[in-house]
Amino acid sequence: MIVVMKPEATQDQIDHMIAHVRELGLSPQVLHGTQRVVIAAIGEERPGMVETLEPGEGVEKVLPILAPYKRASRELKPERTVVKAGRLEMGGVAIGVIAGPCSVESESQIVGLAIKLAKLGATGLRGGAFKPRTSPYSFQGHKEDGLKMLAAARDASGLAIVTEVMAPDQVPMVAEYADVLQIGARNMQNYNLLQAVGDSGKPAMLKRGMSATMDEFLLAAEYILDRGNPHVMLCERGIRTFEDHTRFTLPLASVPFLKEKSHLPVVVDPSHGTGKARLVPPMALAAIAAGADGLMVEVHDDPERAVSDGSQTITPALFADLMANARRIAQAVDRTL
């Protein structure tokens, strides 16, 4: 860390901070600039150190040097992680595509749709059995019955099941039926849930919180990795900004950034990322061009009859077009699909 003292800091205050740096187990090195003194604290930065140095009297600011995540970092593991779950594979040359409805509505719906999606080239099936809904008056999902419908859809289609788990005590049940445990954007910093998913050892799809920085996103992944579960996929699904023509703002520069900093696969969800069905196909193509390892797309036979998220859901016919175009883009960036 770099402790920047105020120009008016006294020698006593400087000495106090030097001692404080030593107390933290770091080695202080004092630099006398033209306008102020700077103390470089050499050694391993640990979380919370910045917070204990900042309140020191005479301190102007404290700058961290090292990234706060370790296991998610390419510094620790330079080779890319490939997450596999049944037919689904994310992080290799092939681009994985997870498609399906927002909510599982009935067995016939999900089985029929899964068969269509598999034919069109999807490798994973999404569908919510436990639904985190903004309003308590919205449909909350079919819960365990929904999980059983998903399992039936896997049997019929061969697709890997990706479904959300909302609380630590649901993890065992969801893990019994699903191939990938999804942690939703609203739960990205639900640490008890992250730990429970980590303990399960199951492949995890971690969605970026809508106001999470890259450091916070990778530290959330770190919670899962730290429990000994290396099967983590990162999913960019859009952030909250002032923009009002889309439901969220989909910032695709996070894709090459995450792939530079981390070895984990990066998936993009253009459905939540835009909230508008018409914008899903172009943003899906853009995601692949930006280097994404996979897509997660909401598809429903009849979006007007979908119990949730109809506005951002495309039909199987549009999904077929999307796949055809996505294949061309994948080829253009030396990937397959």
Ranges within 89-148 binding a copy of itself (CB under 8 A): 132-139
Q: CB-wise, 88 or 323, nearer to a copy of itself?
A: 323
For residue 163, state whether it binds a copy of itself (rule: CB under 8 A): no
- Residue 213, number of CB atoms within 10 A of its CB: 11
Q: C-beta of 246: minimal distance to a copy of itself in Å?
A: 5
Number of residues that bind a copy of itself (CB under 8 A): 112
130: part of which helix (H) or strand (E)?
none
Residue 154 Cβ vs a copy of itself, minimum distance, rounded to whole Å? 25
* CA-wise closest residue to 189 among 173, 212, 169: 212
The reply to whether 324 sits near a copy of itself by the rule CB under 8 A is no
Tell me how far CA of residue 230 lies from CA of 97, 141, 181, 226, 239, in angstroms.
21, 29, 13, 8, 26
Q: Under the criterion CB under 8 A, does residue 211 sit at the interface with a copy of itself?
A: yes
| The two three-digit tokens of residue 328, written as one number | 């061309």
> How many residues are listed for the chain in this entry?
337
Please select the residue that binds a copy of itself; options are 88, 206, 285, 337, rule is CB under 8 A.
Answer: 285
Closer of 82 and 210 to a copy of itself (Cβ): 210
Under the criterion CB under 8 A, does residue 79 sit at the interface with a copy of itself? no
* Piece of the chain touching a copy of itself by CB under 8 A; list 60-68, 90-98, 106-114, 228-236: 60-68
User: Is residue 219 a contact residue for a copy of itself (CB under 8 A)?
Assistant: yes
Q: Which stretch binds a copy of itself (CB under 8 A): 113-121, 144-152, 154-162, 221-229?
A: 221-229
Question: Closest approach of Cβ 244 to a copy of itself, in Å?
Answer: 6
- Say if CB 39 and CB 7 are below 8 A apart: no
Instruction: Report the distance separating Cα 275 and Cα 322, nearest Å.
Output: 17
Task: Decide whether 87 or 257 has the Cβ nearer to a copy of itself.
Answer: 257
Q: Is 47 a binder of a copy of itself (CB under 8 A)? A: yes
- For 24, 254, 282, 315, the CA distances from 247, given in Å and listed in that order, are 45, 18, 16, 19
Taking CB under 8 A as the criterion, which residues in 240-259 touch a copy of itself?
240-246, 249-257
Between 157 and 262, CB nearer to a copy of itself: 262
Query: Minimum Å distance from CB 293 to a copy of itself?
Result: 13
Cα distances from 104 to residues 110, 166, 197, in angstroms, run 6, 15, 22
H or E stretch including 30? strand 27-32
Quote the CA–CA distance of 126 and 87 in Å, as a whole number: 14
Residue 290 lies near a copy of itself (rule: CB under 8 A): yes
Residue identified by tokens 């077929």 is: 320
Q: Which is nearer to a copy of itself, 161 or 166 (CB)?
A: 166
Q: Are 81 and 263 in contact (CB under 8 A)?
A: yes
Q: Which of residues 191-210 bind a copy of itself (CB under 8 A)?
A: 191-193, 209-210
β-pairing verdict for 160-164 and 180-183: parallel
Residue owning tokens 């916070």: 216
> Applying CB under 8 A, does 66 fall inside the site for a copy of itself?
yes
Q: Which stretch binds a copy of itself (CB under 8 A): 38-46, 80-88, 93-101, 145-153?
A: 38-46
Measure the CA–CA gap between 152 and 236, rounded to whole angstroms: 28
Neighbours of 185 (CB within 10 A): 21
Q: In angstroms, give the least distance from the CB of 8 to a copy of itself.
A: 8
24 binds a copy of itself (CB under 8 A): no
Whichever of 81 and 187 has its CB closer to a copy of itself, that residue is 187
Applying CB under 8 A, does 320 fall inside the site for a copy of itself? no
What does DSSP assign to residue 159? P
